[in-house]
Chains A and B, each alone.
Chain A
Amino acid sequence: MSQRITRRDVLKASASLAAASALPRFAFAQSAGTFRIGTLCPITGAGSPYGSGMQKAIEIGVAEVNGAGGAGGRKLELFNEDGQTKPDAAVLAAKKLIEVNKVQAIFGTWSSGVTLAVMPLTDAAGIIEMNCSGAPAISTLDTKDLVWRFQATNDRFGAAFAVIAEKRGWKRPATMAFNNASGIGNAEGFKKAWEKKGGRVVASVVYEPNRPSYRTELQQILAAKPDVIVTGSYVPDSTIILREWYQSGQDVKWILPGWAANPDLVKALGNEVVEGLISVDSVSNENAASYKALDAAYQKATGKPVSTNVYASMCYDMVMCIALAMEAAGPNATVAQVNAKIREVANPDGTQVYSFSEGKKLLSEKKKINYEGASSKLDFDQYGDVTPDFGVFVIEKGQLVRHDVVAI
């Protein structure tokens, strides 16, 4: 993933910081009887292309809930901080949110590193953490069941890669993984799913970051004559690997995660090298009414369709989930009581609802509900993880063109 800080970003960041420091002063006066939510979206850093939109989506959700009279007799109150896509900065901001603003939930952490760094704090404070991160470790480290993940795990990305490779009839896959939790998670997830289908991975390699060349690693992989190479990688290493592969002249197909195979990669390599490369990213629940409602509000707020930011719909769903859980838990419920209701309002075996007011009405009639989110159908497993659908994008003439959507 790449990051760029323009002067405008710096201005935006300092403006939001100024706003955040100005907020609590008048906020404290009315904070009795509200449910306080802190946001740690990646306004700056590697996540900056997404961060502002994520925060905007949370604000849209909060406005919707408060407009419908609040949840469980309480209004939602927001405290925004910038996670900076940096674990150290995010930890400082999380401490401030927890200790000064006394928030009851933290939303919108994006990079796995940030989520893993913030989790111990939220766990210790006994508050809810909702994130868009992929690292498999988040599932197992969440011992108190307070952490909810709205993005697919790297494991599931790997499984999606396997479905795609099978659909296209490839028989001899190989994997290349960047040596960290996310990269290896992708490759291992693929291997697991592929072997379950009865296939065999012909070669696999885990490589180190920051090397001037990956020819030796590539040579090992290509020697096994794979028909497709599946990666868990980022933009810089993918740039070097794909360039060296192209120069080697051996014919093979590629499947990369969406955060590696993006327009930056196309820009770095040129159209010819990346032609036909498959980029896989989770996609929103595009046919749901919840998505359409969010899309309209998001366009009004930012001028862009919400399809430009897959994480924005996840963040919107965070607000919906917590609000419906508050409604289900009833007035003056504690954080733990609200947390315990999240699966109940989002998972199947209830009437499907697509908005907060719809769900609130049914809950008041003592009916069971199943919130269908804008980001996915939002069915949390025992780890608090969801399984979104995956979009298969093929790079054609330098453009990422979506071919189909796969479910795992």
Chain B
Amino acid sequence: MTLVDLCNLLINGTIEGLLIALPALALTLVMGVARFPNAATGDYMTVAAYAGIGVQAWGAASIFLAGLGAIAAGAAISIIFYLWVFRALRGRAPVASLVASIGVAFFARSMLTLFVGHDQQTFNLPLVRAWNFGGVRLLPTDLYVAALALIAMALLFALLHLTPIGRQMRAIADNPDLARACGIRSGRVLLSLWAVVGALCALGGMMFGVKAVVSPELGWELLIPAFAAMILGGIGSPIGAVVGAVLLGIASELSVPFVGPSYKIAVAFLLLLLVLLLRPRGLFGKAILSR
């Protein structure tokens, strides 16, 4: 393996990792604040990606408009299901919400396929050749995807750490009872949380669709990698989710020359296993005593 190959693998791994980072962030936010693993995360991505396709199909060729449409749709579906399903389950055991979220996932996907069918869709984007730096190939599309993901993450961290609503989210994540005692109205906070989660999913779905193809199983298939990234980074830690996703991406790509593409996913999970053995709370997780 030459240095050029290595660079190419690193680039691929980073891009794939950044793609997974967005749903992983959405998962970890819900996990931290609403306290259940949201299995519908992937299907929010799918619905949003189809909304983006829909915007283009209606005549707006601009990928920017398609993205805005996707984000609006992602936030909308996320809020709708919060108000409809997850709000009623607050205060119950997390497994109730988890099971409900699996149901939401199936429901969303089935409704989607009823209307759009099972055909694959693609975003209408001009194809460009990769920039070639002496064998190291860099795709402009990948660069946009990476930049967008990084901007979205920066915005999210700004929201969490620089705004009152972000501070309230973190307060609820730290200690819901204390937050309530301090007068934080959790209803409003949760609404904004779900909107942010939906928008993150939408962006992830949209970028996945631009890079690959849009199909009804798009998001569902990404759920396991996103879960893995969240666990690797430490449950509830946004920065951990991003780092975890990128690490898993790079590890699986770098393993290809050694184990072949069929086993690269296994290598990523081996890494996860090792980290959890040595550091059970994940890279950035906090040790929590169960009460």
Binding site for B on A (CB under 8 A): 2-6, 45-46, 179, 205-208, 210-213, 215-217, 219-220, 223, 235-236, 239-240, 243-244, 246-249, 264, 268-270, 272-273
Q: Contact mask B16-43 → A, CB, 8 Å, 1/0?
A: 1001000000000000000000000000
Question: Which B residues contact A (CB, under 8 angstroms)?
Answer: 5, 8-9, 12, 15-16, 19, 113-114, 117-120, 122, 127-130, 132, 137, 139, 141, 208, 211-213, 215, 217, 221, 253, 256-257, 260-262, 264-265
Is B9's CB under 8 angstroms from A247's CB?
no
A210 to B42, CA, bound (A): 13
Bound together, the chains give a CA A220 to CA B5 distance in angstroms of 9
A272 to B127, CA, bound (A): 10
Are the CB atoms of B122 and A208 closer together than 8 Å? no
Expressed in whole angstroms, the Cα–Cα distance for A213 and B262 within the complex equals: 14
CA distance A260 to B215 in the complex (A): 16
Hey, which chain A residues are within 8 Å of B221, CB to CB?
A: 210
Residues of B within 8 A of A216 (CB): 8-9, 12, 253, 256, 261, 264
Closest to A272 in B: B127
Q: List 15 A-B contacts (CB under 8 A).
A: A2-B120, A4-B117, A4-B119, A5-B117, A45-B118, A216-B253, A216-B264, A219-B8, A243-B127, A246-B127, A246-B129, A247-B141, A249-B129, A249-B130, A268-B213
Give chain A residues whose Cβ lies under 8 Å from the Cβ of B129.
246-249
Collect the chain A residues with CB atoms within 8 Å of residue B127's CB: 243, 246-247, 269-270, 272-273
- Contact between A212 and B261 (Cβ–Cβ < 8 Å)? no
Contacts A2-B120, A216-B261, A217-B256 given; 7 further ones with Cβ under 8 A? Answer: A2-B118, A208-B264, A212-B16, A220-B257, A247-B129, A269-B127, A273-B127
Contact A213–B8 (Cβ < 8 Å): no
Q: How far is the CA of A335 from the CA of B211 in the complex (A)?
A: 53
- Bound together, the chains give a CA A217 to CA B255 distance in angstroms of 12
Contact A212 B262 (CB under 8 A): no
Complex: A206 Cα to B119 Cα, angstroms: 24
| Most chain A CB neighbours (cut-off 10 Å) among B9, B137, B265 | B137
Contact of A213 among B15, B122, B137 (CB under 8 A): B15
* Neighbouring B residues of A272 by C-beta, 8 Å: 127
